[in-house]
Structure 1
């Protein structure tokens, strides 16, 4: 091999090595930056087998529900209890206000390595963990009860979900650190926020949350709560179109009324209800909502078809 040929070979090797080095470095840099990614097919993004692996629970079935901006996957640990992952294209700040309207405290946990907030019920139990993708999109980790996930388990599961959303694959098995109070306070919800939140949670297929927003006289017994929950579960979609004060000359310090225009789609099986579709039409509906003040919170005391 002459000198010129040797130089050409060396240069070629250097160039190839340089290109290879560039490609590897480029890939490493690309892989090193976490991108949050969740599709509307939540059950596909977080398959049953992955949930079983990360929770240690046996999932007997999954159920997907999609309605407007809400995309849900329910993972059943038995016939009545399930874990829920819910993707919402809704305002995060409005969601916080809605949780405050339910009398819940907003906290965070430094074990969850992404922007989030945790809604804690007055009894101290976690209602849900909200993983924030952007100001108008979040993935909520919910459960029907502690039979589905304990307090520690729901935090650990949220850790794993956050890791998977950001491109991670390793499961978190360590005990999570204690929940810390958020440094920012959520302002008390206004009356229109409460009405929007009330119909919003119905549209998100969360009847138990809607029931908790009713005034005590509406849910005096378990039978009352169940009856309301069945009715709220009869909606396929429900969206608030407008909220406006009504009959303001009759308002008192503890009782206000609003006229609410809604767009509804009822589930077909609601046709067999004692009152078909519980008196709702598919399409535009007008309802008169009575609010009463209970302590520091406004509660829904009446839903009527007229003032």
Structure 2
């Protein structure tokens, strides 16, 4: 009989200890700051050294990087993402460009250099190695001047916001 009572008291204290442990750990985790940043970045001294504000900013891509990314998106078949990089006025223009850019099975920028003719430094002379989709190589109307192999194009950027650019047009000459 005494052994039975002792077992019940031991079981009671084990269950009580488990509850206390769970509540203790839950309280510890609930009081912890919910942040993905390391604690050292929350230091006021380090924050003041890194930037005048509490936000850490990421630099915008260079203009040349934008042209390169545009070509990579087309080459990767991400036509809708490439079209979103363009300064187009309406859905009809976006659809037209999407159809046109979907004609390529390969679209690789070989060489990108800033055009010497454009004083705004927003024009890039780009050599693009193109492969047209097989069902489009023998059409009676050329694919807007695109041919198999290296095509030289001028890709011009337009500043849409301070420091932010979109592709304004793609031309066969400056």
Unaligned runs of 5+ in 1: 1-109, 111-182
Tell me, what secondary structure is at the counterpart of 1:277?
coil
* 1:293 maps to 2:165: no
1:31-54 Cα distance to aligned partner (Å, 9 max, x none): xxxxxxxxxxxxxxxxxxxxxxxx
Question: Pick from 71, 79, 92: which aligns with 1:199?
Answer: 71
Counterpart position of 1:236: 105
Q: How many residues get paired?
A: 120
How far the C-alpha of 1:262 sits from its partner, in A, is: 1.0
Tell me, what secondary structure is at the counterpart of 2:110?
strand
Query: Within 1, Cα distance between the matches of 2:114 and 2:106?
Result: 24
Change (3 A) 1:188 1:247: same
How far the C-alpha of 1:302 sits from its partner, in A, is: 1.2
State the TM-score, normalized to the length of structure 1: 0.36
Counterpart position of 2:92: 223
Counterpart position of 2:119: 251
When you count strand as a share of all residues, which structure comes out higher?
1
Higher RCO, 1 or 2 (CA under 8 Å, sep at least 6)?
A: 2
For the 8 Å contact 1:201–1:210, the answer to whether it is kept is yes
Counterpart position of 2:19: none
State the TM-score, normalized to the length of structure 2: 0.62
Counterpart position of 1:305: 172
Counterpart position of 1:127: none
Query: Within 2, Cα distance between the matches of 1:184 and 1:266?
Result: 43
For the 8 Å contact 1:214–1:299, the answer to whether it is kept is yes
Change (3 A) 1:247 1:290: same
How far the C-alpha of 1:232 sits from its partner, in A, is: 1.0
* 1:260 maps to 2:115: no
How far the C-alpha of 1:299 sits from its partner, in A, is: 1.0
Q: Aligned Cα RMSD in Å?
A: 2.2
When you count helix as a share of all residues, which structure comes out higher?
2
Tell me, what secondary structure is at the counterpart of 2:143?
helix
How far the C-alpha of 1:238 sits from its partner, in A, is: 0.9
Counterparts of 1:1-307 in structure 2, within 5 Å, are: 186-215=58-87, 219-248=88-117, 250-252=118-120, 256-271=122-137, 275-295=141-161, 296-307=163-174
1:5-36 Cα distance to aligned partner (Å, 9 max, x none): xxxxxxxxxxxxxxxxxxxxxxxxxxxxxxxx
Query: Within 2, Cα distance between the matches of 1:223 and 1:272?
Result: 26
Query: Within 2, Cα distance between the matches of 1:246 and 1:269?
Result: 34
1:210-252 Cα distance to aligned partner (Å, 9 max, x none): 111111xxx222111111001111110111111111135x423
